[in-house]
Structure 1
Amino acid sequence: MSTDVKSGPGEIGSPRAKVLSAAMQILSAQGAEKLSLRAIAESAGIGIASIYHYFENKEELLLNLAIMGFGDLSRHIISFQEKGEYLSAMQASARAYFDFAEKNPALFSLMFGEQLMARHEALRDAAYKTFQVYETAVKADDRFPAEHQENVALVFWALGRGMAAITSSYPNGELPPEMSEKLYAGISYLIARPE
């Protein structure tokens, strides 16, 4: 099974890119349950047989979407760090993580889906690369001694993943407002509090 994910400028407009774009749109609008190869083919304006030219099966297509999602999440974290609106790179990274989960609940669920993650090393690698982007922000925070930075990064990553999973488990990825406020207030307190 090929796990080569191409999302460079040379692929824009190609049939493969159209398939991925159509699949992403359906996933975002209707969720994974409505993501059928027939619907993707119709949306992309190609035949179902053409999808099999680029993807061995639906799982490989989903895998590619999930890996692309981690690339998008990494870029999202970096863009929030560069905004300069937050007290620290760590706070910016956490906000970017939750912002991504709120705006892309179906994609987020796909990215961190246990079955897909367990079966594909390429997806675990993509998740780890994104974690490393987050870890960089933790290492830049002088509240944590060097020997504890990796552990702290892992704990906050796991906490963020759990909170984002809760968010994505609600219809349309929308938490009840009072729950959302409490979760974000709690994580903000943990991240922003002094030693």
Structure 2
Amino acid sequence: MSEGRRYHVGDLPGRLLREARTMLDEGGLKALNLRALAARAGITAGSMYHHYESKTALLGELAAGGFKELRRELDRAGREAPDGRRVRAWAIAYVAFAHREPALFELMFDAEIAQAPVVTEAKGAALDTLRQLISGFVGPRAPDPAAIENITTAIWAATHGTASLASNAPDPTHLVDEVITGLEALFRGAPRG
């Protein structure tokens, strides 16, 4: 049996994902087509459908893998940050990932791909890292799960918006600091009632 045949039988789905990721990094989502991917993997285009029912299914797996990478980075940032700086560290890690992996980040939030159950699940797991940080941070001040969810959504939205704004910035961390400082000032000075 040839080396290519053994690879085909053993790890073709993994090879296809690795090659798709390389193509995505090299040319963005528009450059990723199934014929070129099959050629890079050394198989026929039809063989791909034994492992992925469509291009969308393959891209969904790739996007879910991106969320898993992001989650590992967010977990690490939260664990390594000192008390009182964990949410900031989470935001910085999120924006840094988007800045370092722009094509993958774009795919992760592509409107069609984001609807795939595997992507929805992986995104939810990444957001759980923030939800846990918020729960630990606000503790008894906001025991209501709805309040935790609202705070999580607000921080995620602000961070995601910052990541979009910082896509061409040479130092996205500076923008994250400005956004967080602005939000802190807003909420400290917000009128009550």
Please, what TM-score do these two structures have when normalized by structure 2?
A: 0.78
Counterparts of 1:99 and 1:68, CA distance in 2: 17
1:189 corresponds in structure 2 to 181
1:135 corresponds in structure 2 to 131
| SS of residue in 2 equivalent to 1:135 | helix
Residues 192/45 of structure 1: CA separation in 2 closer, same or farther (3 Å cut): farther
Counterparts of 1:41 and 1:121, CA distance in 2: 25
1:46 corresponds in structure 2 to 43
2:76 corresponds in structure 1 to 79
Cα pair 2:96 2:173 within 8 Å, conserved = no
Q: What displacement does 1:66 show? A: 0.8
Residues 44/86 of structure 1: CA separation in 2 closer, same or farther (3 Å cut): farther
Q: Percent identity?
A: 27
**Counterpart amino acid of residue 88 in structure 1:** R
Q: What displacement does 1:131 show? A: 0.9
Gaps of 5+ in 2: 1-9, 189-193
Is 1:101 the equivalent of 2:98?
Answer: yes
1:156 corresponds in structure 2 to 155
Q: What displacement does 1:84 show? A: 3.4
Q: What displacement does 1:105 show? A: 0.8
**Counterpart amino acid of residue 185 in structure 1:** D
2:116 corresponds in structure 1 to 120
| SS of residue in 2 equivalent to 1:72 | helix
Residues 182/135 of structure 1: CA separation in 2 closer, same or farther (3 Å cut): same
Counterparts of 1:46 and 1:85, CA distance in 2: 49
How many residues matched? 175
Stretches of 4+ aligned residues off by more than 6 angstroms = 191-194
Gaps of 5+ in 1: 1-12, 168-173
Q: Match for 2:89 among 83, 92, 113?
A: 92
Q: What displacement does 1:85 show? A: 6.3
Counterparts of 2:177 and 2:156, CA distance in 1: 17
Is 1:175 the equivalent of 2:168?
Answer: yes
Can you list the C-alpha shifts for 1:70-125, whole angstroms capped at 9, x where unaligned?
111111101222333685221221111111101111111111112222x4233222
Counterparts of 2:178 and 2:152, CA distance in 1: 17
